Amino acid sequence: MVSILLFATVSLASLGLFTWKVAGIVKQIKLGRPTNRSERPGERWKTMLLVAFGQKKMFNRPIPAVLHFVFYVAFIITQIELLEVFIDGFTGSHRYFYHAGLGSLYTAVISTIEFLSILTFVATIIFFARRNLIKLPRFNMQELRGWPRQDANFILLFELLLILFIFMMNTADEALLLESNHGSYGFAISQYLAPALFGSDYAPQTLNILSGVGWWGHLLMVFLFLNYLPYSKHLHILFAFPNTYFSNLNPLGKWTNMETVQREVGLMLDPSLEPNLEVGENSDPQRFGAKDANDLTWKQLLDAYSCTECGRCTSVCPANQTGKLLSPRKVMMDTRDRLAELGTNGYNFDDGKPLLGAYITEEEIWACTSCNACVQECPVNIDPLSILIDLRRYLVMEESKVPSELTGMLTNIENNGAPWQFSPADRLKWTEEN
Amino acid sequence: MAECMARGETPEVLFWVGCAGSFDDRAKKITKAIAKILSHCQVKFAVLGTEEACTGDPARRAGNEFTFQMQAQMNIQVLNGYDIKRIVTGCPHCFNTLKNEYPELGGNYEVMHHTQLLQDLINSGRLRLEGSETFKGKKITFHDPCYLGRANEVYEAPRALIEKLDVALVEMKRCKTNGLCCGAGGAQMFKEAEKGNKEINVERTEDVLETNASIVATGCPFCNTMMTDGVKNFNKEEEIQVLDVAELIAKAADL
Residue B111 sits in the same domain as residue B224: no
Question: Taking 60 as the threshold, does the pLDDT of residue A281 lie above it?
Answer: no
Same-domain check for residues A226 and A263: no
In this structure, the answer to whether residues B158 and B91 fall within a common structural domain is no
Contact flag A427-B17 (C-beta cutoff 8 Å): yes
Say yes or no: A105 and A228 in one domain: yes
The residue in chain A having the minimum alpha-carbon distance to the alpha carbon of residue B146 is A371
Does the pLDDT value for residue A58 go beyond 90? Answer: yes
CATH number, domain of B56, equals 3.40.50.1860
Residues B19 and B64 in one domain: yes
Residue-wise pLDDT for A100-135, tens only, equals 888 789 999 999 999 999 999 999 999 999 999 998
Say if A19 falls within a structural domain. Answer: no
- Per the prediction, chain A carries an average pLDDT of 93
A265 and A171 in a single domain? The answer is: no
- Residue-level pLDDT at A202: 79
**Closest CB from B22, B146, B197 relative to A371:** B146
Within the 255-274 window of chain A, which residues sit less than 8 Å (CB to CB) from chain B? 255, 257-258, 261-262, 264-266, 268-269
How close does chain A come to B190, measured CA to CA in Å? 6
pLDDT at site A284: 59
Phi and psi, residue A381, nearest 5°:
55, 40
Q: Which residues of A touch B25 (CB under 8 A)?
A: none
| Per-residue pLDDT, A197 | 85
Chain A neighbors of B47, CB-CB under 8 A: 428
Range of the domain at B170: 129-252
Using alpha carbons, select from B22, B12, B241, B20 the residue that is nearest to residue B126: B12
Neighbouring C-beta atoms of residue B34, cutoff 10 Å: 27
Whether A397 sits inside 8 A of B54 (CB atoms) is no
* CATH number for the domain that contains residue A406: 1.10.1060
Closest-CA residue to B163 (of B187, B121, B130): B130
Of A198-202, A225-229, A335-339, A406-410, the poorest mean pLDDT is in A198-202
Answer yes or no: do A219 and A130 share one domain.
yes
A186 torsion bin: left (phi>0), alpha (psi -120 to 50), beta (else): left
Q: Quote the ipTM score.
A: 0.95
Residues of A in contact with B176 (CB under 8 A): none
Q: Which of A325, A369, A429 faces B183 most closely, judged by CB atoms?
A: A369
Cβ-based neighbour number of residue A91 at 10 Å:
11
Residue-range definition of the domain harbouring residue A229: 61-245
The CATH number for B167's domain is 3.40.50
Q: Which residues of A touch B197 (CB under 8 A)?
A: 322-323
Interface contacts (A, B; CB < 8 Å): 210
Q: Are residues B22 and B112 in the same domain?
A: yes
pLDDT given for residue A393 in this prediction: 98
Tell me the nearest-neighbour CA distance from B39 into chain A, angstroms. 13
Predicted confidence (pLDDT) per residue in A350-389, tens digit: 888 999 999 999 999 999 999 999 999 999 999 999 999 9
pLDDT in tens, chain B (255 residues): 778 877 888 899 999 999 999 999 999 999 999 999 999 999 999 999 999 999 999 999 999 999 999 999 999 999 999 999 999 999 999 999 999 999 999 999 999 999 999 999 999 999 998 878 889 999 999 999 999 999 999 999 999 999 999 999 999 999 999 999 999 999 999 999 999 999 999 999 999 999 999 999 999 999 999 999 999 999 999 999 999 999 999 999 998
C-alpha span between B93 and B99 (Å, rounded): 10
Question: At residue A282, does pLDDT exceed 70?
Answer: no
Task: Report the residue of chain B nearest A289, measured CA to CA.
Answer: B63
Question: Is residue A90 domain-shared with residue A237, that is, in the same domain?
Answer: yes
Amino acid B167: pLDDT = 95
CA separation (Å) from A74 to A56, A78, A112, A193, B124?
A: 18, 6, 9, 20, 53
Using CB atoms and an 8 Å cut-off, which of residues 340-369 of chain A contact chain B?
A: 363, 366-369
Q: Could you tell me if B114 and B189 lie in one domain? A: no
Q: Are residues B113 and B224 in the same domain?
A: no
Q: Which positions in chain B touch A408 (Cβ < 8 Å)? A: 190
Among B120, B150, B185, identify where a domain stops: B120
For chain A positions 301-340, those within 8 Å of chain B (CB to CB) are 316, 318-319, 321-326
Contact criterion met (CB < 8 Å) for B73 and A417: no
Interface check A400 vs B, CB under 8 A: no
A40 lies in a domain?
no
- pLDDT above 70 as % of chain A: 97
Residue in B154, B190, B170, B135 with CA at minimum distance from that of residue B20: B190
pLDDT at A275: 67
For residues A416-431, average pLDDT: 95
Residues of chain A contacting residue B31, judged by C-beta atoms under 8 Å apart? 430
Contacts 24+ apart (CB under 8 A), B116-123: B116/B88, B116/B154, B116/B157, B117/B13, B117/B88, B118/B37, B118/B157, B118/B161, B118/B245, B118/B246, B118/B249, B119/B157, B119/B160, B119/B161, B121/B37, B121/B41, B121/B43, B122/B160, B122/B161, B122/B164
A77 and A221, same domain (yes or no): yes
Percentage above 90 pLDDT, chain A? 84
Cβ proximity of B89 and B117 under 8 Å: no
CB contact (8 A) between residue A420 and residue B23:
yes
Query: What is the reported pLDDT for A283?
Result: 54
Q: CB distance B61–A420 less than 8 Å?
A: no
List the end-to-end C-alpha distance of chain A, in Å, as a whole number.
95
For residue B192, what is the nearest residue in chain A, using CA coordinates?
A405
**How many domains does chain A fold into?**
2
Q: Is residue A16 part of a domain?
A: no
Q: Indicate the number of domains in chain B.
A: 2
The amino acid present at A246, given as its one-letter code, is F
Say yes or no: B133 and B245 in one domain. yes
Q: Which residues from A are below 8 Å from B53, CB to CB?
A: 417-418, 424
Average pLDDT estimate for A139-160: 95
Q: Is residue A54 part of a domain?
A: no
Do B248 and B139 belong together in one domain? yes
Is A35 a member of any domain?
A: no
Query: From the list A258, A405, A430, which residue is nearest B190 (CB)?
Result: A405
Global confidence as pTM: 0.94
**Do residue A208 and residue A181 come from a single domain?**
yes
**Between residues 168 and 197 of chain B, which touch chain A (CB distance below 8 Å)?**
177-181, 183-188, 190-197
Instruction: Flag whether pLDDT at A277 surpasses 60.
Output: no
Q: Do A108 and A214 belong together in one domain?
A: yes
Instruction: Provide the shortest C-alpha distance from residue A396 to chain B (in Å).
Output: 6
CA distance B191 to chain A (A): 5
Q: What is the pLDDT of residues A184-195, one digit of tens each?
A: 899 999 999 988
pLDDT in tens, A201-256: 778 889 999 999 999 999 999 999 999 999 999 999 999 999 999 999 999 999 99
- In angstroms and rounded to an integer, the radius of gyration of the C-alpha atoms of chain A is 28
DSSP 3-state of A33: strand
**What residues in B contact A326, CB-CB < 8 Å?**
194
Residue A261 scores a pLDDT above 80 = yes
What tens digit of pLDDT does each residue of A290-330 get? 999 999 999 999 999 999 999 999 999 999 999 999 999 99
Are residues A310 and A164 part of one domain? no
- The four Cα atoms A169, A172, A176, A178 give a dihedral, to 10 degrees, of 120
Domain shared by B145 and B167, yes or no: yes
